């Protein structure tokens, strides 16, 4: 068992998958010799050669299109888009080709591919390096969407995604790459080397897709979160003095409905937090699900805490970011409701 950052855990996951299956290939912009913009693929080309870990042209549509062809052919490509914001040129390939091939071919062909992309803000990346586009993928049938919150899950979920027979969008919260972030930007960040979730097995293992994790048990209110918001939720619950149950969704499709329903029916209250913009964000779907399945157990209206309906502002990043105060205020409000 080693202590790893999320970067190292993701690299270890690809390493284990490539070692186990010669059909696994890794490529993208600068992922080969350079090792990726965040160094997630560092050393893989040296270990596995240029045919299995290589650089691609600066063309997201080309990267995705090539991966789809490889997947149909029988390979298992794991490609990197440098930032989630850059995936839009490849969105047509993802939604119109990768997502449809199993259905279009009546199950004769599948596309076992993974698209890795750093997501979210908190690093002063501004409007074109801070987006959270998970809802755009969740809307499309045929795609699975994964958002880990810690190194252990990141490695296990990535290996499970590589071995899955369908296309998986693997969104990596870049604010968590080197340590958990609780939303207090003016405080030192605890490195993963000092956090329990920083312990990661060196060997192969998987974390199943579609299974949420209860990060904190509680009786008063259910907090539905994923990615960076797991730690913001923990800080908010502690600071607000609310006995909140925190559910880390881990994958938003497939979604762990059973765990969500069990928690909300127990607490009778629900707060949903995500960093993406509010309108048509994935929190809206979560609200609908909770309302449909838990309506008669709810003791207060469901509340969302999200980013605002504006491009991610560079100068006012911490006003946009759903921090512990905004989440704490929502917790207090839902507890005060009749």
Which residues carry out catalysis?
A: 129
Spell out where the chain has E strands: 2-3, 24-28, 53-55, 76-80, 114-119, 144-146, 168-173, 199-200, 213-216, 221-225, 244-248, 251-253, 270-277, 303-307
**How far is 198 from 1, CA to CA, in rounded Å?**
10
The CB density around residue 272, as the number of other CB atoms within 10 Å, is 24
DSSP state of 31: -
- Beta bridge mates, 200: 2
Q: Region of 273 please: left (phi>0), alpha (psi -120 to 50) or beta.
A: beta
Residue with tokens 């619950």: 237
| Backbone region of residue 39 per phi and psi (left: phi > 0; alpha: psi in -120 to 50; beta: other values) | left
């Amino acid at each position: 068992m080693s202590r790893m950052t999320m970067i190292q855990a993701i690299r270890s996951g690809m390493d284990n998958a490539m070692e186990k299956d010669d059909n696994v290939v890794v490529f993208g912009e600068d992922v080969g010799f350079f090792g990726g913009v965040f160094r997630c693929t560092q050393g893989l080309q040296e270990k596995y050669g240029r045919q299995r870990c290589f650089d691609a042209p600066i063309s997201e549509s080309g990267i995705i299109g090539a991966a789809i062809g490889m997947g149909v052919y029988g390979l298992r490509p794991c490609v990197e888009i440098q930032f989630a914001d850059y995936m839009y040129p490849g969105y047509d390939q993802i939604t119109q080709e990768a997502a449809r091939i199993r259905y279009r071919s009546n199950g004769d062909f599948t596309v076992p591919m993974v698209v890795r992309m750093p997501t979210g803000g908190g690093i002063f990346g501004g409007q074109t390096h801070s987006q959270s586009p998970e809802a755009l993928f969740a809307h499309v049938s045929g795609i699975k969407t994964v958002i880990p919150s810690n190194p252990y899950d990141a490695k296990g979920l990535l290996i499970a995604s590589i071995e899955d027979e369908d296309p998986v969008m693997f969104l990596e919260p870049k604010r968590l790459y080197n340590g958990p972030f609780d939303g207090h930007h003016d405080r030192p960040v605890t490195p993963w080397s000092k956090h329990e979730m920083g312990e990661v097995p060196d060997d192969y293992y998987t974390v199943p897709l579609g299974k949420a994790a209860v990060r904190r048990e509680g009786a008063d209110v259910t907090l539905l979160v994923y990615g960076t918001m797991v730690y913001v939720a923990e800080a908010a619950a502690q600071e607000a003095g609310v006995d909140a149950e925190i559910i880390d969704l881990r994958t938003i499709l497939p979604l762990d409905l059973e765990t969500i329903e069990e928690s909300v029916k127990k607490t009778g209250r629900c707060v949903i937090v995500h960093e993406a913009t509010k309108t048509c964000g994935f929190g809206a779907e979560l609200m609908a699900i909770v309302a449909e399945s838990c309506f008669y157990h709810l003791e207060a209206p469901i509340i969302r805490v999200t980013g605002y309906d504006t491009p991610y502002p560079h100068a006012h990043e911490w006003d946009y970011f759903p921090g512990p105060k905004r989440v704490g205020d929502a917790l207090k409000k839902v507890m005060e409701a009749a």
